Amino acid sequence: IKHPLQNTWTLWYYEPDRNKSWEESQREITSFDTAEDFWSLYNHIKTASELRQGCDYSMFKQGIRPMWEDDQNKCGGRWLINLDKKQRTTDLDNFWLEILLCMIGEAFNEYSDDVCGAVVNVRPKGDKLGIWTSNADCADSVMEIGRKLKERLRITSKTTMGYQVHKDTMIKAGSQTKNTYTL
Ligand code: M7G
């Protein structure tokens, strides 16, 4: 028998399309609930660094859409890791895989329930990794998830991580969103 995961996870893919809205361009790829099915999927698809610029992968718990508007996200926010351009070849794929493994392995202990999912944005100006949590007001949970992430990714002091509330991101198109927490 296969090794069951605590949760069922869904992979989403976003590709920009001028004829569709952002929401319509989010495509649900597949869901899985065993370690073996995770690896079959992971080994079958392009790595993040192989995606065309402008595209995203998102992996969320089944039933949570990878958007601010979802009930599980609307009071939440994300830990954001901004990579510089050089890190696409050195860090992007490693960080993304490690984030996925943290999530499916429920690495955040008593706070794993607060994790909704994660997103990788492949962008010309620098790639981004975000881990989305459901309640931005739960400082304990947000900080513990951030600390664990930083430890597991072995993020050094030169890379700072900021937690941004989705409600701030939503209205801040263009300019930079303020960090509500930093690590
Ligand atoms: P992005 O892809 O997160 O980052 O957001 P980028 O600026 O580096 O490309 C780009 C745009 O996508 C936003 O300004 C929104 O128009 C749209 N968008 C992104 N997200 C995460 C959402 C979302 O959750 N809901 C909606 N409605 N639009 C979003």
Q: Residue 68 Cα, ligand 1 centroid: separation in angstroms?
A: 9
pTM of the model: 0.97
What pLDDT is recorded for position 11?
Answer: 98
How far apart (Å, rounded) are the C-alpha atoms in residues 84 and 99?
18
**Atom 24 in ligand 1: residue holding the nearest Cα:** 67
Which amino acid, 117?
Answer: G
What pLDDT is recorded for position 159?
Answer: 74
Give, for ligand 1, the residue of 17, 22, 73, 119 to mutate: max count of ligand atoms closer than 8 Å to Cβ: 22
CB 5 within 8 A of CB 104: yes
Residue 183, pLDDT above cutoff 90: yes
| Residue 51, both tokens | 């995606």
- Protein residues with CB under 6 Å of any ligand 1 atom: 22-23, 67-69, 121, 123, 173
Residue 172, pLDDT above cutoff 80: no
**Atom 2 in ligand 1: residue holding the nearest Cα:** 121
Mean pLDDT over the full length of the chain: 96
* Tokens 């303020």 -> residue: 178
pLDDT digits over 130-146, tens only? Answer: 999 999 999 999 999 99
Residue 112, pLDDT above cutoff 90: yes
Q: What is the mean pLDDT of residues 98-119?
A: 97
Q: Residue 1 Cα, ligand 1 centroid: separation in angstroms?
A: 40
Q: Residue 32 Cα, ligand 1 centroid: separation in angstroms?
A: 26
* Residue 173: pLDDT band with limits 50, 70, 90: low
Q: Residue 36 Cα, ligand 1 centroid: separation in angstroms?
A: 32
* SS3 state at 171: helix
Task: Work out the burial of residue 174: count CB atoms within 10 Å of its CB; fewer than 13 is exposed, 13-18 middle, 19 or more buried.
Answer: exposed
What pLDDT is recorded for position 13?
Answer: 98
**Atom 28 in ligand 1: residue holding the nearest Cα:** 22
**Atom 17 in ligand 1: residue holding the nearest Cα:** 22
Please choose, from the candidates 68, 58, 51, the residue with its C-alpha nearest in 3D space to the C-alpha of residue 28: 58
Q: Residue 121 Cα, ligand 1 centroid: separation in angstroms?
A: 10
pLDDT digits over 23-77, tens only? Answer: 999 999 999 999 999 999 999 999 999 999 999 999 999 999 999 999 999 999 9
Which amino acid, 119?
Answer: V
Q: ipTM of the assembly?
A: 0.98
Q: Residue 34 Cα, ligand 1 centroid: separation in angstroms?
A: 30
